[in-house]
Amino acid sequence: MSPRGTGVAGRRAGVAGRAGAAAVALALLAGSATAAEMTPPKDFAIPRAESSPGGVTFSHARHMARVGRCSACHMRDVKMKRGASGPMTMAALEQGRLCGACHDGKTSAGGSVVFSLDQCDACHKD
C-alpha cells in the first residue's frame, strides 16, 4: 500500500473510533449504563418561580444513593439539561410528572415510601 493509502485508512479508523465513542455515549444516555459509569452533576438550585414558597435544591448524589439508576428519571420526562424539562410547576408535579413521579406518598424506593408533595418544607427551603 502507498503511504498515501495508509493515511486515508488511518483517518477512516479515526472516524470509526469517534463513531464508536458516540454510540457508547448514546447507550449511556439511553440508561443502559450503571451509575458508576457516569458522574452526575453537583447539587444545583432549580429556577425559582416568584410564587414559590422557597428555593428548591436538587441533589443528584442523594437521589442516586436511593434510586440507583440515571434512567429512573432520565428515561421519563426529566432531560439531561437544566431547564429543558419544561416548567416545574406544582400542577405538573401533582399530575405525576417530574419530581411528582416519585414524590407522591405511594412510590417506594430503597425500601421506604418516598415523601409526598404535602411536605412542602422537605423541598422548599428558607
Is residue 29 a contact point for ligand HEC (CB under 6 A)? no
Interface residue with ligand HEC, options 58, 96, 97, 104 (CB under 6 A)? 58
Stretch that binds ligand HEC, among 9-17, 19-27, 81-89 (CB under 6 A): 81-89
Cα distance between residue 28 and residue 94, in whole Å: 29
Cα distance between residue 14 and residue 20, in whole Å: 10
Angle at 99 between CA 54 and CA 77, to 5 degrees: 130
**Shortest approach of ligand HEC to residue 23 CB, angstroms?**
17
Is residue 97 a contact point for ligand HEC (CB under 6 A)? no
Phi then psi for 115, rounded to 5 degrees?
A: -60, 150
Stretch that binds ligand HEC, among 4-12, 15-23, 74-82 (CB under 6 A): 74-82
Is residue 81 a contact point for ligand HEC (CB under 6 A)? yes
CA atoms within 13 A on the CB side of 117: 16
Residues contacting residue 86 through CB under 8 Å, at least 6 positions apart: 77, 92, 98
- Site of interaction with ligand HEC (CB under 6 A): 35, 38, 40-41, 46, 48-49, 51-53, 55-56, 58-60, 62-64, 66-67, 70, 72-74, 78-85, 88-91, 98-99, 101-103, 109-110, 112, 114-115, 117-120, 122-124
